Amino acid sequence: MDELSIALISDVFFEIDASERLVLRLQEAKDAGAQLAVLPEIACNPWSPATKEMKASDAEELGGSRCKMQSNAAKAVGIGLIGSAILQEGNSRYNTCLFWNENGERIGTYQKHHLPEEVGFWETSHYEPGVGGFPVFDFNGFKIGIQICSDMNRPQGSHLLAAAGADILIGPRSTELATYDKWRPVWIANALTTGCYVCSVNRPSPEDGVLIGGSSIAVDPNGKVVAESCDTITLFKAQQCTIKQSRIDYPGYLPCRSELYAKCWETIKETQQ
């Protein structure tokens, strides 16, 4: 497939009618032409990191109620879905993206690696940094990499995913409106330096005193913003021809030199956790 239509859905689904509303939103996205829908960061939970209080009910094992709700919705509508949950694995909890195909079958998972710990975003109080690496997923002829919120502010992950073959980098997030101007150039730079489409979708509104807000955005591999809005559903199309040309043009044709960088990283003493 030469083109993939993606819907960035700025909405959350944790109230009593969550299951029905999720199906309606996905159907709305599909009716608009989307083949893949993306939800914000842990969209089926309240924004629990607003406080340091960790609740057992915020997390579930893989296959739990939130997982089933998302899988069932993707299958009912017939659309690919990148959703999420706080997954319990033994004694550990991880902020995890869940990738479902249009049949509601799980393609894979991705764990958030870089966790803030500050007012409104007490994330290390709720889950641990991911240990699952940087998988690349095949979907409708495109290779998809996922990063969750703060992961996008560590460009090493973006570059690693691109070197592993990713065409599109997808970033569900929960950020404050006041910080949007800090995030925007990061997405543009990550797109331009990786030769990937980069997109992100935010939770829609303030929660529990945290002033969450800001646009959904999509940037093409040339650093051009191709979609940006605060609409509930923001659509854009990723095109293989644009990806291929960006890797012929500068700076896309520059070699990654992965072995060199890997060797240098090994010699650097870790100073940050």
Mean pLDDT of the region 29-44: 99
Whether 213 maps to a domain, the answer reads yes
Distance (Å, whole) CA 248 – CA 250: 7
pLDDT at 221: 98
pLDDT at 262: 87
CATH of the domain at 168: 3.60.110.10
Distance (Å, whole) CA 125 – CA 119: 12
Whether 79 maps to a domain, the answer reads yes
pLDDT digits (tens, 9 = 90+) for 71-99: 999 999 999 999 999 999 999 999 999 99
pLDDT digits (tens, 9 = 90+) for 102-153: 999 999 999 999 999 999 999 999 999 999 999 999 999 999 999 999 999 9
Whether 200 maps to a domain, the answer reads yes
Whether 71 maps to a domain, the answer reads yes
C-beta separation of 135 from 108 below 8 A: yes
C-beta separation of 2 from 141 below 8 A: yes
Whether 273 maps to a domain, the answer reads no
pLDDT at 1: 77
Q: How many domains does the chain have?
A: 1
Distance (Å, whole) CA 123 – CA 50: 9
| Residue 216, φ and ψ in degrees, nearest 5 | -80, 150
Whether 55 maps to a domain, the answer reads yes
Whether 136 maps to a domain, the answer reads yes
- Show the domain range for 69: 3-267
